[in-house]
């Protein structure tokens, strides 16, 4: 079925085009042209749909507490409302039993036609206890190869990312995880600059929520933050809500990292049962007095990057679409509007409010 959308301004993921029509058929972009442009029906802005690589739950259901396909559907609904077409449902430090149940939930959702789910993001339990943030202390540990093999074999094809502390995990285990096609991210880590740099030179290609729960940049001890800043290839996510990271710190990080910096929401939901009980305090979530997650959408991330950090709109969009796609390098997820690519796009008002989302 053919569908057309006129755009006063279109951002392809690489460049801006004015007064064009996007023609789509069977979930693919067929053409982008000026012929047929209709100003009366045109949207002010049309941009690539967004991508969120870290979100824990939505609408009162946290994945680790409700490991079922319905939770993932609620997360997808929340994502769509915030401009996101592709997402990674995430669980914080949990037992192997709960991890396996979350794998079952992702499998059920995807195998029954659920849209948008890239795969499961497992954050912990192989993290540093001193950088646990709101994670459960009693479940944090260094993994054995048997434990890792059990989880990866059970979740083959359904686990897409694992966040771990490189100083807590044997290098052979990290290599094994990467060889299974899972993206390995450094997070909740107290690694030294040297340890982090060695990990980034090997099979750890990304870091989780820059500045938060990692050894800081200090003038005599550059830590993980310093290693991320100085590395040429490693990318890092960041929570752009102004609570997890001050907007001026984001400005500094962006100047240093450029295209290696991208956004996640790190969004949670209000919960009153289980080990992770998140309560909304202002515009953020806390658990037992500790900052535990955001109330962001990715579209709000873009607003904050533009309005509070001073980043150009196209670059802010890339930080929430193109760059996360580059982290995952999965077929069909490009973060662009291009001919023969999946037709995933947002139609926005001039003040960047969501009017319509199209997904392949």
Q: List pLDDT tens digits, range 168-215.
A: 999 999 999 999 999 999 999 999 999 999 999 999 999 999 999 999
What is the pTM (predicted TM-score) of this model? 0.97
Residues with Cβ within 8 Å of 30's Cβ and at least 6 positions away in sequence, in order, are: 2, 23, 24, 339
One domain, residues 30 and 114: no
**270 SS3 class:** coil
The answer to whether the beta carbons of residues 236 and 260 sit under 8 Å apart is: yes
pLDDT at 2 (0 to 100): 85
Tell me how many domains the chain contains.
Answer: 2
215: nearest Cα among 230, 205, 226: 226
> Does the pLDDT at position 13 exceed 90?
yes
What are the residues facing 50 on neighbouring strands? 84
**250 SS3 class:** helix
One domain, residues 73 and 20: no
Instruction: Kindly state whether residue 333 falls inside one of the protein's structural domains.
Output: no
**Catalytic residue ranges:** 266
**Full residue range of the structural domain in which residue 174 is found:** 50-328
Mean pLDDT of 123-130: 98
Mean pLDDT of 86-104: 97
Looking up residue 32, the CATH number of its domain turns out to be 2.30.40.10
- Range name among 72-86, 87-101, 283-297 with the lowest pLDDT average: 283-297
> Does the pLDDT at position 128 exceed 90?
yes
One domain, residues 155 and 267: yes
The whole-angstrom separation of Cα 93 and Cα 56 is 12
Mean pLDDT of 50-56: 98
Instruction: Kindly state whether residue 334 falls inside one of the protein's structural domains.
Output: no
pLDDT category at 289 given cuts 50, 70, 90 is confident
Instruction: Kindly state whether residue 234 falls inside one of the protein's structural domains.
Output: yes
pLDDT at 132 (0 to 100): 95
Looking up residue 201, the CATH number of its domain turns out to be 3.20.20.140
Q: Is 60 left (phi over 0), alpha (psi -120 to 50) or beta?
A: left
The torsion of the CA quartet 213, 285, 80, 98, rounded to 10 degrees, works out to 70
DSSP 8-state class, residue 41: G
pLDDT at 288 (0 to 100): 83
One domain, residues 208 and 73: yes
CA atoms within a 13 Å half-sphere pointing along the CA-CB vector of 337: 32
Residue-wise pLDDT for 257-275, tens only, equals 999 999 999 999 999 888 8
One domain, residues 269 and 345: no
């Amino acid at each position: 079925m053919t569908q057309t959308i006129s755009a006063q301004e279109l951002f392809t993921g690489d460049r801006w085009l004015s007064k064009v029509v996007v023609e789509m058929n069977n979930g693919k972009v067929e053409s982008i042209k000026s012929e047929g442009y209709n100003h009366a029906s045109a949207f002010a802005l049309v941009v690539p749909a967004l991508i969120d690589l870290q979100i824990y739950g939505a609408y009162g259901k946290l994945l680790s507490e409700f490991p079922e396909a319905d939770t993932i559907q609620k997360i997808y609904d929340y994502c769509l409302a915030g401009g996101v077409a592709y997402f990674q449902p995430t669980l914080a430090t949990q037992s192997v039993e709960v991890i396996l149940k979350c794998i079952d939930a992702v499998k059920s959702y995807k195998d029954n036609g659920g849209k948008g789910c890239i795969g499961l993001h497992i954050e912990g339990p192989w993290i540093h206890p001193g950088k646990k943030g709101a994670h459960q202390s009693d479940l944090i540990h260094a993994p054995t190869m048997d434990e890792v093999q059990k989880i990866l074999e059970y979740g083959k094809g359904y686990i897409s990312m694992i966040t771990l502390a490189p100083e807590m995990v044997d290098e052979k285990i990290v290599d094994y995880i990467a060889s299974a096609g899972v993206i390995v991210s450094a997070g909740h880590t107290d690694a030294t600059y040297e340890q982090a740099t060695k990990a980034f030179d090997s099979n750890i290609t990304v870091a989780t929520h820059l500045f938060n729960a990692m050894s800081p940049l200090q003038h005599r001890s550059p830590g993980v933050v310093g290693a991320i800043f100085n590395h040429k290839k490693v990318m890092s996510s960041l929570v752009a809500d102004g609570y997890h990271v001050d907007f001026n710190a984001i400005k500094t990080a962006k100047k240093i990292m450029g295209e290696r910096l991208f956004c996640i929401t790190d969004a949670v939901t209000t919960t009153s049962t289980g080990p992770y009980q998140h309560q909304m305090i202002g515009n953020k979530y806390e658990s037992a007095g500790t900052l535990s997650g955001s109330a962001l959408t990715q579209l709000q991330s873009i607003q904050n990057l533009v309005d509070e950090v001073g980043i150009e709109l196209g670059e802010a969009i890339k930080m929430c679409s193109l760059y996360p796609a580059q982290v995952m390098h999965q077929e069909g997820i490009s973060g662009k509007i291009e001919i023969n690519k999946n037709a995933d796009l947002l139609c926005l008002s001039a003040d960047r409010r969501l009017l319509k989302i199209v997904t392949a």
